[in-house]
Amino acid sequence: MSIQVMLLQLGKGMIVSVEIFILTLLFSLPLGLVISFGRMSKNFALRAITKFYISVMRGTPLMLQLLVVYFAPYYVLGIKISAGYRFVAVILAFVINYAAYFAEIYRSGIESMPVGQYEAAKVLGYNKLQTFFKIILPQVIKRILPSVTNEIITLVKDTSLAFAIAQAEMFTIAKQIAASQTSVMPLMVAGVYYYIFNLIVAVAMEKVEKAFSYYR
Amino acid sequence: MKLLEMNHVRKNFDGLEVLKDISFSIERGEVVSVIGPSGSGKSTLLRCATMLEKMDGGELYYMGEAAAWEKDGKCVYASKKELKKLHKYFGLVFQNFNLFPHYNVMKNITDSLIRVDKVARKEAVSRAVRLLEQLGLEDKQSAYPCQLSGGQQQRVSIARALARQPQLLFFDEPTSALDPELTMEVLKVIRQLAKEHMTMIIVTHEMQFAREVSDRIIFMEDGVIKGEGTPDEFFATDNGRIRDFIGKLSGAGA
């Protein structure tokens, strides 16, 4: 296999990895916010359920969660797994896992907000929704950006876990080529790809942080 | 006309009685200072009046309209809609300013006008410009709070409160977070407002200032009003405890 073909095949896998990455963020970032509300709810049952959910998501391996999400429909419900479900299962598992982490990050940010911001908003007549989305959330986002960047960089590398259910993303392909060519080269190239991917992510997040640095 | 009336207000924090049967009212155009040692309940009184705290008992009226009253020994508040209306009658200036750090000065002042009070943007901006000129901050419109001194921030927060054109303005220790020099520039603004007969309730430790601007001074201690009168009456009181307090503060200020 020529090096061009290998780069091309890994590139194709990379596209799938990027898809997993983007879709996971797209769904888990808003879902995490919703879960953080549950975690901070005044309702005891809701709080207990979300707390348990977060502890399971953080307390068990993501690879195991992937396998459960992928195989549960067949083993538990007896539904035949269709070919298209593989990718759906990857996204589903990543979203519910990352949403749990993001929920805790949101919570830390929201709870760190000084009560005076809420009081000022109340006295000025803002309702609860306006207070949260216009006054509180923008400041929370600024506060949590460093932690979110951390998670996002981890996510780039975690996309490789999709190989556990044979999703054809970059790592799975790199492993297949490496096995068939008996060469470590494809794995090295995959490493470089991941590194570049994360370099781009880091630069982008730095830009975002800078965009928020106009105030303290 | 009574702008604000509070009757038999009670407030507990975890069983600790912070306000014990306080009755109090203010007429239009009056400037009232509330003084007293830390923990006397003066800030709590102000927070109950501005509905940042819920009272455990008593009545609260704005312009004769009930915000809260007692029913079966419990304090009940008016409907959300009614309270929203009453909220327009007053403004509050905080000790720590509580400006919105992510908004510039202009937006801090105009955002609630536009978003909450549905004032046209043009009108909101012209109000803000006028107020900033009055307060000597005309060149700070696009500055962010973090770029301003404490005194400037407090003046912006006064502008933010005034822009809503309240009937009554509360100040919760407006200079306690400021050094003496910055304190002066904020007191100057409040003094000017007093001259313009803005109705104000000021919780403060600045004795001389209270004496100078107030029509009436209220002395609070242990959750009750221990004395009340014009500044002249107040500073000539034969109430030993008040004399003691004034003496201590004046001594500390020297």
CB-based contact A73:A81 (threshold 8 Å): yes
- 195-214 in chain A: CB under 8 A from chain B: 214
Closest partner residue to A138 (CB to CB) among B52, B94, B102 is: B102
Residue of B nearest to A126 (CA): B116
Collect all residues of chain A within an 8 Å Cβ-Cβ radius of residue B163: none
Ranges B129-133, B137-141, B244-248: which has the least confidence: B244-248
pLDDT, tens digit, for every residue of B21-47?
Answer: 999 999 999 999 999 998 899 999 999
Does A130 reach chain B within 8 Å, measured CB to CB? yes
Chain B nearest CA to A114, separation (Å): 9
Instruction: Indicate if the pLDDT at residue B127 is higher than 80.
Output: yes
Q: Label residue B43 exposed, middle or buried (CB < 10 Å: 0-12, 13-18, 19+).
A: buried
Residue B253 pLDDT level (bands cut at 50, 70, 90): very low
Instruction: Say how far apart CA A155 and CA B116 lie, in whole Å.
Output: 40
Instruction: Indicate if the pLDDT at residue A129 is higher than 70.
Output: yes
pLDDT, tens digit, for every residue of A7-29?
Answer: 999 999 999 999 999 999 999 99
CB-based contact A40:A107 (threshold 8 Å): yes
Residue B18: φ, ψ to 5°: -95, -35
3-state helix, strand, coil in chain B (%, to 5): 40, 30, 30
Does A134 reach chain B within 8 Å, measured CB to CB? yes
Instruction: Indicate if the pLDDT at residue B67 is higher than 90.
Output: yes
Closest partner residue to B116 (CB to CB) among A126, A214, A215 is: A126
pLDDT, tens digit, for every residue of A167-204?
Answer: 888 899 999 999 998 999 999 999 999 999 999 999 99
- With CB atoms and an 8 Å threshold, state whether A126 touches B94: no
- With CB atoms and an 8 Å threshold, state whether A117 touches B98: yes
Residue B228's beta-bridge partner residues?
Answer: B218
Instruction: Indicate if the pLDDT at residue B254 is higher than 60.
Output: no
pLDDT value at position B108?
97
Mean per-residue pLDDT for A88-107?
97
pLDDT value at position B72?
87
Instruction: Say how far apart CA A118 and CA A136 lie, in whole Å.
Output: 8
Instruction: Indicate if the pLDDT at residue A50 is higher than 70.
Output: yes
CB-based contact A16:A5 (threshold 8 Å): no
Instruction: Say how far apart CA B172 and CA B105 lie, in whole Å.
Output: 21
Closest partner residue to A135 (CB to CB) among B87, B91, B100 is: B100
Instruction: Say how far apart CA B220 and CA B36 lie, in whole Å.
Output: 5
pLDDT, tens digit, for every residue of B214-245?
Answer: 999 999 999 999 989 999 988 888 888 888 88
Instruction: Say how far apart CA A96 and CA A98 lie, in whole Å.
Output: 6
pTM over 0.80: yes
Q: Cα dist. B55→B13, B49, B70 in Å?
A: 10, 9, 10
Instruction: Indicate if the pLDDT at residue A134 is higher than 80.
Output: yes
pLDDT value at position B204?
92
CB-based contact A177:A131 (threshold 8 Å): no
Element (H, E) at B10: strand B2-13
